[in-house]
Structure 1
Amino acid sequence: MSFAAIGLDMGGSSIKYGVVSTDGTLIEKTFSQAPTPAGARPQEVALAMKQIIEDLKQVTGSDLAGVPVGVTVPGIVIDGVVHSAANIDASWLGLDAKSLLAETLGCEVSVLNDADAAGMAEVFAGAGSRDGAPIMGSTLVLTLGTGIGSGMFRDGILFPNVEFGHLQLDGAEAEKKAAARVIREENLSWEQYGQRLQRYLSHVEFLCSPDLIVIGGAISQEYEQFLPQLKLRAKVVPAHYNNAAGVLGAAHRAMNH
């Protein structure tokens, strides 16, 4: 089996990872997760990722020489430099993460925003694709969880670092009103949450007029509870990938850079 790229999807509590083959699919036996080091400081995270790659060598029976690595960061990433940090140490701010990780891992590394990576997985091989190619037009991928992540694409081309979770809506950041966590925190019914989501998506649709909206995050598994309530011009569909989306997107970026 040929190995095309390694994807490492970093969050505040865990690092999901896996190896993608040359046909762009995730090798299931390699998909797993490891705890993010307490505090999520850059050097400690880099060393944890180095250990993950050592573990992947054992799982695959390969030294993975020359296999590029894609890494997601929960923050704005421009040319490999981190410009915001959500649920990770503030020392990531202004850090050239690409250089740090390439030096520690000893291989070519690509770094991108985590929501952008999840969006890439959907646009190139999931709900935002058709017959193996991105659906033409404007596609917005939203991940609904603790917050709201967003990835914006036009004809399959990423417009990076779009932060639609931080839009102001009714006097507050949108993710404080419409992220999936509010269902539990405010004990909302699905009908009540659907109304929240309708308000948010109507606002987003007014601002950027997407043709397709893909709803991701763990909540997408229960899409039948809220998607039928939504009335938008854009077509709204559940995401194809869930936990593996960031890994696949990170690997895709590494394969194509």
Structure 2
Amino acid sequence: MPTRKTTVASKKASAKKAVARGAVKSAATKKTAPKKAAVKAAVKKAAVKKVAVKKAAAVKMPKAAVAPHIAPGRASSERILAIDIGGTGLKAAVIDGHGKMLGERVRVATPHPCTPEQMVDTLATLVNPLLTQHHPTRMSIGFPGVVRENCVLTAPNIGDEGWHGVPLASMLARRVGNLPVRMINDAEMQGFAAIEGHGLEFVLTLGTGAGTALFRDGELMPHLELAHHPVSKTRTYDEYIGAHARDQAGDKRWNKRVEKVIDVLSKLVNYDRLWIGGGNAVNLKFDLPANVAIVSNAAGIEGGAKLWHPRSMRESRQLPDANQRTGEFG
């Protein structure tokens, strides 16, 4: 049986152990505290970094100014800075809402190789006299490549490297007074000036490359980059009937190739009308089918007006803000 002395000693020993355990726990807590603080600081730092990245992205790809469609009856008073970007030349003019040029067209050679920054610098210099003279209130751009939501996805005849995802429309808009701007493929912009607005109408442009566009009852359809689709053995439309192909093959063989392409497109699309534009359209020497016609090269500028007509841009995912279901085509 334990004595009173033994019991007291035992209690003292237990108390010492408890104190020791408490000391160890306290030390462990002290060691853990800095780690928890470090984790919290890291989380906070990561959150700040994430916000900074979002802000940087917002700065890099700004949204262009938004402007309403051209209201019926106001087309004649509109002043639209229309720009036609080509692999060989850059052209610009100020037009009204019907596509009529309000002055002389200006032109300069396309720089090669060309970075987005060089393109913007060259265009800003080119259009500066037009801004001073006409004070345009909107801007339309036709670009030789795939365009979506005012951004360039491909630029095969400009220098594809470094062009993917470039917000060219916004970049140029900032240099010309933040004009509201819309940009689409150049063949599509040319098509807007050529089409009659009935049935299936196809556009083929013969320039540095071969551009295409499709319209149904005056409305722009989703863009198909046929220029890079094989049409003869392993050669694409660009390689078969582009400017370089004409230089290599000569006019006679090149004309036969274009004649073949017209037949291919007729079977592929079953179009009601085919409109042929671009700088090399003047070199066609054969008799065209009854439903095929050549359009003026100025159409690449004049079509810029229709980018601001409500019905023209329906069905197009290229410019989501233009997909309104109201308004008149004219």
TM-score by length of 1: 0.79
Question: Are 1:19 and 2:94 matched, yes or no?
Answer: yes
What does residue 119 of structure 1 align with? 191
CA offsets 1:37-92 (integer angstroms, 9 cap, x no match): 4532222322333333321134x3x433xx10011221100111211112324222
SS at match of 2:79: strand
AA at the equivalent of 1:199: K
Q: 1:186 aligns with which of 237, 242, 249?
A: 249
Question: Are 1:169 and 2:231 matched, yes or no?
Answer: yes
Find the aligned partners of 2:260 and 2:108 in 1 and give their Cα distance.
37
Pairwise mapping of residues 132-171 of structure 1 onto structure 2 (< 5 A)?
Answer: 134=197, 136-171=198-233
What does residue 154 of structure 2 align with? 84
What does residue 169 of structure 2 align with? 98
- Would the aligned equivalents of 2:97 and 2:306 in 1 still touch at CA under 8 Å? no
Q: 1:246 aligns with which of 300, 303, 317?
A: 300
- Would the aligned equivalents of 2:88 and 2:208 in 1 still touch at CA under 8 Å? no
What does residue 126 of structure 1 align with? none
Query: Shift in Å at residue 111 of structure 1?
Result: 1.0
What does residue 262 of structure 2 align with? 201
Find the aligned partners of 1:182 and 1:219 in 2 and give their Cα distance.
11
Q: 1:102 to 1:146 in 2, by over 3 A?
A: closer
Question: Are 1:57 and 2:127 matched, yes or no?
Answer: no
- Would the aligned equivalents of 1:116 and 1:160 in 2 still touch at CA under 8 Å? no
Question: Are 1:227 and 2:287 matched, yes or no?
Answer: yes
What does residue 68 of structure 2 align with? none
- Would the aligned equivalents of 2:79 and 2:96 in 1 still touch at CA under 8 Å? yes
Find the aligned partners of 2:260 and 2:98 in 1 and give their Cα distance.
39
Find the aligned partners of 2:122 and 2:287 in 1 and give their Cα distance.
38
Q: 1:169 to 1:25 in 2, by over 3 A?
A: same
AA at the equivalent of 1:218: G
CA offsets 1:215-238 (integer angstroms, 9 cap, x no match): 212333354x2134x5xxx71112
Query: Shift in Å at residue 21 of structure 1?
Result: 2.1
Find the aligned partners of 1:188 and 1:31 in 2 and give their Cα distance.
29
Find the aligned partners of 2:309 and 2:172 in 1 and give their Cα distance.
17
The number of aligned residues is: 233
SS at match of 1:30: coil
Higher Rg of the two aligned structures: 2
Find the aligned partners of 1:154 and 1:21 in 2 and give their Cα distance.
24
Pairwise mapping of residues 63-78 of structure 1 onto structure 2 (< 5 A)?
Answer: 63-64=135-136, 67-78=137-148
Q: 1:25 to 1:146 in 2, by over 3 A?
A: same
Find the aligned partners of 1:101 and 1:115 in 2 and give their Cα distance.
20
- Would the aligned equivalents of 1:82 and 1:94 in 2 still touch at CA under 8 Å? yes
In terms of fraction of residues, the more helix-rich structure is 2
Find the aligned partners of 1:33 and 1:188 in 2 and give their Cα distance.
26
Q: 1:93 to 1:182 in 2, by over 3 A?
A: same
What does residue 274 of structure 2 align with? 213
In terms of fraction of residues, the more strand-rich structure is 1
SS at match of 1:202: helix
Query: Shift in Å at residue 175 of structure 1?
Result: 3.0
SS at match of 1:44: helix
Query: Shift in Å at residue 181 of structure 1?
Result: 4.7
Gaps of 5+ in 1: 124-128
Q: 2:116 aligns with which of 42, 53, 73?
A: 42
Find the aligned partners of 1:219 and 1:247 in 2 and give their Cα distance.
17
Q: 1:255 to 1:210 in 2, by over 3 A?
A: closer
- Would the aligned equivalents of 1:139 and 1:154 in 2 still touch at CA under 8 Å? yes
Q: Higher relative CO (CA 8 A, sep ≥ 6), structure 1 or 2?
A: 1
Query: Shift in Å at residue 156 of structure 1?
Result: 0.7
Find the aligned partners of 2:258 and 2:91 in 1 and give their Cα distance.
28
Find the aligned partners of 1:193 and 1:47 in 2 and give their Cα distance.
35
- Would the aligned equivalents of 1:193 and 1:226 in 2 still touch at CA under 8 Å? no
- Give the share of equivalent positions with the same residue, in percent: 27
Larger mean Cα displacement after TM superposition, 146-155 or 18-27: 18-27
